[in-house]
């Protein structure tokens, strides 16, 4: 590579760094920053690259490595877990878009072009969508799982779509002889692939790993990835198809995790060049001349694709709100659409103006993707409320049978691992409970075993149907931050006396949820930190009692900081002006200094700041015990105190523990 080309690549990388630093301030994904870098560096603006062939070759490597890692991720376990949403939802989404595009093409007298446009529109950007989902912590939500499933199916169909392009363009004419030769090639290649995977791959990887050379392992991985890509390209198939098949093979290897870890940095570098090269294709002059038409077409593109994606979610039994959110998340053009469009232009399926128009619309939809995902929950709620106003919502009375006369019960939102643990505890202590779950498959699986109902807990009518007015506790065991906020707000409005216990991933959500009316927040980030330092101290043989005291102190400090922050924010409610009080239950254990002493002798209120309002002894509740009441071992005392002291009440009453 000449010095001139190296300098050009260096300038592009420096420009990418600067552009992404600016984009990060506006929370724009890195992928979008690379697209903007390409637009700036392209021949229609700064013209920083003189030899596009080098950039194009590097971009092809990026696509091949992306396909390789996708193949690595599509193990049998993943496909089995998502098989219904993948194959049902994915096939319906792509099928509907292809059918509509084919009809439009047929009406215009260009069926092949219609199908080709359908392939371009059907694909969405895995790189952008999954990156944003990881940032927002919504990958494990119903919207995240459904989006992932559809994206997986789209990735599976990229290779067949690439094979379809020359057929649509007429550059390959199928005859019995040519079809037979093509099938023979595929069969021979498939047989060779199977034999290599069955008898050679594991032995090769074992021999490489035994050398304990990370450099040799990486070189072997790259040889497999690019070697199979070269073979498929020589056979007239897609360059990236071979890399995808190599990834599928290595996914079954016991060394697959090492493979992914080694190749990811190289994939990211070459993939960034791919996105930059896509931006370079854009003709800024053409875009400016046709800006009004392009801006008018973008919302039509987003709305049309969203509406054709929604049935893929609704057919699986999910509510309209989930379908709207999922479809908006997938409303952009995919990175592999650019690979397809290049093949289509080369084969004559698309002219230069149509190519530039598609590029402009695609890049704009990619840039809008973070905003679409952020506003999707509010948009979905607004649309659902409009639909309900038109009389399409089921009357609340029709759902009231789910209440079943429950009183003083616990409402569990979400029946994943956390929800199932809550149910086990409720059964052990014989507490009344009911469950709400949004995954129809989960509801169907447990409908004969548990009091489980299907619905979206953000909807007030659904909460009312669960008897929220008569419930004591609602436990929100889902991980969707926006949904948790909506449930907390509506639950507090419907029953201000309700104890609302919510789960969240991030400490930053705690203040928002308390402000909305939550009683207790379980922040995974905070609890993981507490558990982490507990295990570290245990490894240094710090006494368990000291570790528990430190954990209680941290929880106390966190509670006080949140409470003071809320009061300092200028909240004028009565709850904000008065001390934040609460009640907790503590069992007195043998050896406690307060056992076999009266309340007057123990002087608990003055010395500890705790007020005992009731005592449970032998399943009998003694309310408001007087000063002469004697505490015994195994008594359960109900303590009224400030909420920050609730965490330390156990240690205060049982200081030896």
Choose from 22-26, 237-241, 470-474, 604-608 the range with maximum mean pLDDT: 470-474
Of 526, 546, 576, the residue at which a domain comes to its end is 576
Judge whether 485 lies within some domain. Answer: yes
Structural domain of residue 186, as residue ranges? 3-173+181-382
Residue 521 Rama label (left phi>0; alpha psi -120 to 50; beta):
beta
Question: What does the block give as tokens for 133?
Answer: 């989902």
Nearest to 486 by CA among 497, 474, 473: 474
Judge whether 121 lies within some domain. Answer: yes
- What residues does 437 pair with on adjacent strands? 454
Q: Give the pLDDT confidence of 476-485 residue by residue, as tens digits.
A: 998 788 788 8
Each residue of 263-299: b (16+ CB within 10 Å) or e? beebbeebbbbbbbbbbbbbbeebbeebeeebeebbe
Do the beta carbons of residue 414 and residue 477 sit within 8 Å? yes
Choose from 176-185, 266-275, 335-344 the range with maximum mean pLDDT: 335-344
Same domain, 506 and 607: no
Query: What is the predicted pLDDT for the residue at 257?
Result: 60
Same domain, 465 and 593: no
- Mean pLDDT value across residues 348-371: 89
Of 353, 382, 411, the residue at which a domain comes to its end is 382
| Better-scored residue on pLDDT, 276 or 137 | 276
Judge whether 83 lies within some domain. Answer: yes
Q: State the pLDDT confidence band at 657, using cuts at 50, 70 and 90.
A: low
Instruction: Give the CA distances from residue 393 to residues 265, 452, 534, 636, in Å, rounded to whole numbers and listed in that order.
Output: 50, 21, 50, 47
Same domain, 344 and 198: yes
CATH number for the domain spanning 525: value is 3.40.50.720
Judge whether 389 lies within some domain. Answer: no
- Rounded to the nearest 5 degrees, what angle is found at the Cα of 228, between the Cα atoms of 225 and 230? 105
Same domain, 267 and 326: yes
Judge whether 391 lies within some domain. Answer: no
Nearest to 121 by CA among 143, 138, 96: 96
Same domain, 309 and 446: no
Same domain, 358 and 452: no
Does residue 647 carry a pLDDT above 70?
no
Q: How many domains does the chain have?
A: 3
Query: What is the predicted pLDDT for the residue at 358?
Result: 93
Query: What is the predicted pLDDT for the residue at 394?
Result: 41
Do the beta carbons of residue 430 and residue 423 sit within 8 Å? no
What is the C-alpha separation between 471 and 454, in angstroms, rounded? 18
Query: What is the predicted pLDDT for the residue at 329?
Result: 93
Query: What is the predicted pLDDT for the residue at 627?
Result: 85
Over its C-alpha atoms, the chain yields an Rg (Å, rounded) of 30
Same domain, 410 and 312: no
Judge whether 390 lies within some domain. Answer: no
| Better-scored residue on pLDDT, 328 or 233 | 328
Instruction: Classify residue 79 as exposed, middle or buried by CB count within 10 Å of its CB (0-12, 13-18, 19+).
Output: middle
Does residue 636 carry a pLDDT above 50?
yes
Q: Which of 227-231, 256-260, 525-529 has the lowest mean pLDDT?
A: 256-260
Say which residues have a Cβ less than 8 Å from residue 565's Cβ, sequence separation at least 6: 511
Judge whether 467 lies within some domain. Answer: yes
Query: What is the predicted pLDDT for the residue at 579?
Result: 47
Same domain, 512 and 499: yes
Q: What's CA 478's distance to the chain center, in Å?
A: 12
DSSP run (H or E) holding 621: strand 620-623
Q: Which of 36-45, 380-389, 565-574 has the lowest mean pLDDT?
A: 565-574
Do the beta carbons of residue 402 and residue 453 sit within 8 Å? yes
- Rounded to the nearest 5 degrees, what angle is found at the Cα of 459, between the Cα atoms of 454 and 463? 70
DSSP run (H or E) holding 584: strand 581-587
Question: What does the block give as tokens for 395?
Answer: 């009357």
Choose from 136-145, 552-561, 619-628 the range with maximum mean pLDDT: 619-628
Query: What is the predicted pLDDT for the residue at 327?
Result: 95
CATH number for the domain spanning 586: value is 3.30.70.1450
Query: What is the predicted pLDDT for the residue at 474?
Result: 94
Query: What is the predicted pLDDT for the residue at 190?
Result: 82
DSSP run (H or E) holding 287: helix 284-289
- 3-class secondary-structure state, position 454: strand
Query: What is the predicted pLDDT for the residue at 216?
Result: 86
| Residue 384 burial (CB count, 10 A) | 19
Say which residues have a Cβ less than 8 Å from residue 83's Cβ, sequence separation at least 6: none
Q: State the pLDDT confidence band at 559, using cuts at 50, 70 and 90.
A: low
Strand boundaries in 298-432, DSSP class E: 410-413
Same domain, 376 and 438: no
- What residues does 620 pair with on adjacent strands? 617
What is the C-alpha separation between 603 and 606, in angstroms, rounded? 6
Does residue 563 carry a pLDDT above 60?
no
| Better-scored residue on pLDDT, 594 or 137 | 594
Query: What is the predicted pLDDT for the residue at 247?
Result: 82
Same domain, 31 and 62: yes
- Mean pLDDT value across residues 102-108: 92
- Mean pLDDT value across residues 394-410: 56
- Mean pLDDT value across residues 199-205: 86
- 3-class secondary-structure state, position 68: helix
Same domain, 348 and 443: no
- Mean pLDDT value across residues 643-654: 72
Judge whether 74 lies within some domain. Answer: yes
What is the C-alpha separation between 569 and 311, in angstroms, rounded? 44
Does residue 655 carry a pLDDT above 80?
no
Query: What is the predicted pLDDT for the residue at 81?
Result: 61
CATH number for the domain spanning 327: value is 1.20.1530.20
Of 320, 355, 382, the residue at which a domain comes to its end is 382
- Rounded to the nearest 5 degrees, what angle is found at the Cα of 309, between the Cα atoms of 307 and 313? 115
- Mean pLDDT value across residues 84-90: 83
Indicate the average pLDDT of the chain: 81
Q: Give the pLDDT confidence of 145-155 residue by residue, as tens digits.
A: 888 889 878 87
| Better-scored residue on pLDDT, 631 or 82 | 631
- Mean pLDDT value across residues 496-511: 85
Same domain, 151 and 22: yes
| Residue 224 burial (CB count, 10 A) | 23
Do the beta carbons of residue 35 and residue 299 sit within 8 Å? no
What is the C-alpha separation between 583 and 594, in angstroms, rounded? 19
- 3-class secondary-structure state, position 614: strand
DSSP run (H or E) holding 636: strand 636-642
Q: Which of 74-83, 103-112, 327-336 has the lowest mean pLDDT?
A: 74-83
- Mean pLDDT value across residues 160-184: 75
| Residue 417 burial (CB count, 10 A) | 9
Question: What does the block give as tokens for 167?
Answer: 């057929």
Q: State the pLDDT confidence band at 189, using cuts at 50, 70 and 90.
A: confident
- 3-class secondary-structure state, position 118: helix
> DSSP secondary-structure letter at 412?
E
Residue whose structure tokens are 């991720």? 73
């Amino acid at each position: 590579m000449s010095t001139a080309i190296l300098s050009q690549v260096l300038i592009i990388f420096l420009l990418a760094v600067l552009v992404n630093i600016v984009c990060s301030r506006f929370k724009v994904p890195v992928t979008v920053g690379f697209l903007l870098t390409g637009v700036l560096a392209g021949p229609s603006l700064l013209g920083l690259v003189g030899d596009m062939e080098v950039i194009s070759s590097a971009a092809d490597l990026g696509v091949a490595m992306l396909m390789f890692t996708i193949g690595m991720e599509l193990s049998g376990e993943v496909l089995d877990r998502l098989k219904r949403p993948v194959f049902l939802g994915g096939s319906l989404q792509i099928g509907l878009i292809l059918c509509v595009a084919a009809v439009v093409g047929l009406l215009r007298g260009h069926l092949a072009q219609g199908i080709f446009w359908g392939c371009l529109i059907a694909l969405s950007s895995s790189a952008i969508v999954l990156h944003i989902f990881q940032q927002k912590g919504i990958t494990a939500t119903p919207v995240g799982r459904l989006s992932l499933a559809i994206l997986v199916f789209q990735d599976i169909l990229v290779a067949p779509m690439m094979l379809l392009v020359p057929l649509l363009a007429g550059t390959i004419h199928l005859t019995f002889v040519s079809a037979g030769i093509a099938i023979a090639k595929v069969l021979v290649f498939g047989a060779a692939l199977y034999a290599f995977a069955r008898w050679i791959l594991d032995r090769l990887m074992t021999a490489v790993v035994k050398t304990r050379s990370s450099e040799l392992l990486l070189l072997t991985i790259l040889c497999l990835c690019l070697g199979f890509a070269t073979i498929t390209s020589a056979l007239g198939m897609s360059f990236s198809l071979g890399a995808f098949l190599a990834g599928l093979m290595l996914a079954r290897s016991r060394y697959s995790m090492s493979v992914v870890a080694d190749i990811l940095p190289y994939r990211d570098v070459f993939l960034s060049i791919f996105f930059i090269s896509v931006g370079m294709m854009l003709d800024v002059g053409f875009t400016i001349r046709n800006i009004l038409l392009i801006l008018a077409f973008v919302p039509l593109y987003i709305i049309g694709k969203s509406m054709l994606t929604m049935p893929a979610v609704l057919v699986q039994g999910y509510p309209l709100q989930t379908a709207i959110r999922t479809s908006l998340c997938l409303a952009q053009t995919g990175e592999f659409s650019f690979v397809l469009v290049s093949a289509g232009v080369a084969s004559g399926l698309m002219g230069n103006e149509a190519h530039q128009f598609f590029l402009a619309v695609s890049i704009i939809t990619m840039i809008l993707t973070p905003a679409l995902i952020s506003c999707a929950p509010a948009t979905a709620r607004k649309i659902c409320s409009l639909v309900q106003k038109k009389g399409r919502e089921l009357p609340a009375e029709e759902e009231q049978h789910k209440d079943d006369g429950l009183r003083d019960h616990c409402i569990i939102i979400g029946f994943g691992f956390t929800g199932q643990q809550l149910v086990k505890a409720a059964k052990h202590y014989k507490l009344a409970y009911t469950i709400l779950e949004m995954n129809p498959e989960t509801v169907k699986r447990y409908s004969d075993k548990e009091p489980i109902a299907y619905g979206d807990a953000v909807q007030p009518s659904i909460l009312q149907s669960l008897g929220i007015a008569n419930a004591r506790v609602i436990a929100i065991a889902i991980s969707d931050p926006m949904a948790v906020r909506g449930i907390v707000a509506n639950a507090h409005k419907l029953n201000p006396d309700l104890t609302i216990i919510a789960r969240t991933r991030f400490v930053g959500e705690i203040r928002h949820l308390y402000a909305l009316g939550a009683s207790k927040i379980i922040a995974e980030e905070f609890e993981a930190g507490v558990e982490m330092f507990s295990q570290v101290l245990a490894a240094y043989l710090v006494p368990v009692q000291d570790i528990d005291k430190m954990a209680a102190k941290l929880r106390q400090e966190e509670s006080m900081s949140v409470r003071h922050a809320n009061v300092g924010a200028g909240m004028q409610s009565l709850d904000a002006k008065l001390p934040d009080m609460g009640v907790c239950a503590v069992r007195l254990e043998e050896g406690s200094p307060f056992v076999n002493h009266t309340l007057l002798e123990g002087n608990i209120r003055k010395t500890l700041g705790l007020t005992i309002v009731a005592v449970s002894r032998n399943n009998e509740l003694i309310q408001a015990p007087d000063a002469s009441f004697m505490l015994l071992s195994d008594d359960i005392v109900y303590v009224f105190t400030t909420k920050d002291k609730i965490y330390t009440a156990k240690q205060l009453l049982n200081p030896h523990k």
